[in-house]
Structure 1
Amino acid sequence: MAEHEDTRCGFVAIVGRPNVGKSTLLNHILEQKISITSRKPQTTRHRITGIKTEGNTQFVYVDTPGLHSNQKKALNRAMNATVTEVLKDVDVVLFMVERLIFNEEDEMVLQALEHIKVPVLLLINKCDQIENRERLLPHIQKLAARRQFSEVIPLAVLTGHNMSTVEDCVAKYLPAGPFMFPEDQVTDRSSRFLAAELIREKITRQLGDELPYEVSVEIEKFTQEGAVLHIHGLILVDKAGQKQIIIGHQGERLKTIGKSARLDMENAFDSKVMLNLWVKVKSGWADDERALQSLN
């Protein structure tokens, strides 16, 4: 561990409405996948912590679920509560929006930051997709008038544009203090959790709009036997029809999901993986607060 006097360490929350690129930002910073990504909203449900140690600075990033204006379902309420809880104890906030868009859900996030006293950096993602770049500066000025942001950074996470600027800016706002994690640690989440998230990512990517987001994954077995890691995953859905959608004709879709997840797992865990998947109907779990607690 580095000495306290010479080191900086702090928590950095990544917030924003669903699907602005928060998980992709975290994965890009860490240079590996720990937070799942999809074009589909509600992909990230949990608080994911990613740790990056560089020189005398340790960044502890917290990727949060997107804030939702629809709180009718217990799942959405739980996701919003996660964001609110994270904001109570961080040193820097990265507020992500995209392109020239600032909608009702972006406004909701801004309101959640109203009483935050720590530095808030505004990240405008997907700037490479703005056709008329002359519109960007007036948009930045309009947003800057809404709140006194510590920094405003246009970027494009997928191409890496301005990513180093983001990290440099965050570093200067982190407090002096000892590292909280070993220098080679990348996340505080367990391998079982990451395995479940990788399976869930493949489901959301495979099924697109065919399946509502009421799907969860439990890891029932995670054991290393010799050179092979044996993982059993249980996919939980809300309705019987959803089970058949995931399995697909003669089980082909489930095989495709399993193969794709297994390849990512072998890369993440640096081991040969034997993955077995099952699908089970557990009606109403997304509306059941107690069931949600058991799935976290």
Structure 2
Amino acid sequence: MDNQRSACIAIVGRPNVGKSTLLNKLIGEKIAIVSKKPQTTRTRIMGVLTEGEDQLVFLDTPGLLKPRNPLGDYMVRSITAALEEVDACLLVTEAGAPVSKADQELVQRFRRGRLPALLAINKIDLLADKSPLMEQIAAYSRLYDFRAVVPVSARDGSGMDALSDELKALTQPGGWLFDEDTLTDQPERVLAAEFVREKVLRLLDQEIPHGVAAVTEIMRERGELLELHVTLYCEKANHKGILIGKGGAMLKQIGSAARADLERFFGCKVNLQLWVKVKEDWRQRPETLQGLGFSQRDFQL
């Protein structure tokens, strides 16, 4: 206990810069779903990394955006709540991208809270010419006094060891916040539903995936088999038909892809059953959001 050190760190940034991929890489386990679509992360996700005497508690947040509905309001409130709880922040941006309005707003919040912050410039593997990085680093350094600026690739692991070292430098004495074997605060039922929603995001295009929520209705063990019943909620009847597909083909494809991830994560065979139901305009209705698991309790560490 005397030598144990910890830090609680919010991972923030505009949508689709790779925050969840970065968290998964840091933790060494997939606990946050990822896709190329913005707004993949809807809730605050906690991940814990314990190595030696250091424990890093990460709060992965939705990308900062202008809310257009109660779900968007919920996502922005989750960012605000995270910044009020943490010891430091990790701002994630994309290699070669200019300073965004979202970045500027987040930095203003750092300044108001007098929060130590690190900058991770992600996706450097996609930048063939690395020379713009120096200009980008200079632009962000003028914006805020970051403790460190680390170019990384969450996809191939470049720079991740250096980032981890800089994050550990933020830890303070006083013991750990969680047991050594803690990985996340996400219930297994929530993780299972999110793995299914990830496949919807990856397999379908345009607006339909953003109007889909996934809820695990049944989760039970049957010997060495894990039985999961997950319901996909969409906003319109025609979206239900698209999710199911001709002869159930799309729903089968979603289920097959999700089952592979679920079996890797849980380490056993999974019997996954999927259903699709319509809840009209669920993103616009606060009471429906509560019923689908978007609770104010999510803002508490």
Q: What TM-score, normalized to structure 1?
A: 0.95
**2:71 corresponds to 1:54:** no
Partner of 2:297 in structure 1?
Answer: none
Partner of 1:206 in structure 2?
Answer: 203
Calculate the aligned-residue CA RMSD, in Å: 1.3
**Residue 8 of structure 1: CA displacement?**
0.6
**Residue 53 of structure 1: CA displacement?**
0.9
Task: Spell out the pairing of 1:59-70 with structure 2 (5 A cutoff).
Answer: 59-69=56-66
The residue matched to 1:165 in structure 2 has which SS? Answer: helix
Q: Measure, in 2, the Cα distance between the counterparts of 1:134 and 1:172.
A: 28
Match of residue 41, structure 1, among 31, 38, 57: 38
**2:69 corresponds to 1:77:** no
Partner of 1:100 in structure 2?
Answer: 96
**Residue 294 of structure 1: CA displacement?**
2.1
Match of residue 231, structure 2, among 222, 230, 234: 234
The residue matched to 1:209 in structure 2 has which SS? Answer: coil
The residue matched to 1:221 in structure 2 has which SS? Answer: strand
Task: Name stretches of at least 5 consecutive residues in structure 2 with no aligned partner.
Answer: 294-301
Q: Measure, in 2, the Cα distance between the counterparts of 1:264 and 1:178.
A: 34
Counterpart of 1:122 in structure 2: which amino acid?
Answer: L
Partner of 1:267 in structure 2?
Answer: 264
Deviations 1:217-263 (CA, angstroms, capped at 9, x unpaired)? 11110011111111100100011111111111110110011011111
The residue matched to 2:169 in structure 1 has which SS? Answer: helix
**2:108 corresponds to 1:111:** yes
**2:23 corresponds to 1:26:** yes
Q: Measure, in 2, the Cα distance between the counterparts of 1:176 and 1:167.
A: 18
Whether the 8 Å contact between 1:220 and 1:234 is mirrored in structure 2 is: yes
**2:150 corresponds to 1:142:** no
| 1:212 to 1:197, Cα distance in 2 relative to 1, 3 A | closer
The residue matched to 2:56 in structure 1 has which SS? Answer: strand
Counterpart of 2:88 in structure 1: which amino acid?
Answer: V
Whether the 8 Å contact between 2:200 and 2:209 is mirrored in structure 1 is: no
Task: Name stretches of at least 5 consecutive residues in structure 1 with no aligned partner.
Answer: none
Whether the 8 Å contact between 1:231 and 1:275 is mirrored in structure 2 is: yes
Whether the 8 Å contact between 2:88 and 2:116 is mirrored in structure 1 is: yes
**2:127 corresponds to 1:130:** yes
**2:85 corresponds to 1:89:** yes
Q: What TM-score, normalized to structure 2?
A: 0.94
Q: Measure, in 2, the Cα distance between the counterparts of 1:106 and 1:91.
A: 19
Q: Measure, in 2, the Cα distance between the counterparts of 1:216 and 1:264.
A: 18
Partner of 1:12 in structure 2?
Answer: 9
Partner of 2:298 in structure 1?
Answer: none
**2:270 corresponds to 1:287:** no
Q: Measure, in 2, the Cα distance between the counterparts of 1:128 and 1:227.
A: 41
Whether the 8 Å contact between 2:201 and 2:209 is mirrored in structure 1 is: no
Percent identity between matched residues is: 40
Q: Measure, in 2, the Cα distance between the counterparts of 1:134 and 1:9.
A: 36
Q: Measure, in 1, the Cα distance between the counterparts of 2:54 and 2:136.
A: 33
Partner of 2:172 in structure 1?
Answer: 175
The residue matched to 1:208 in structure 2 has which SS? Answer: coil
Question: What count of residue pairs does the alignment treat as equivalent?
Answer: 292
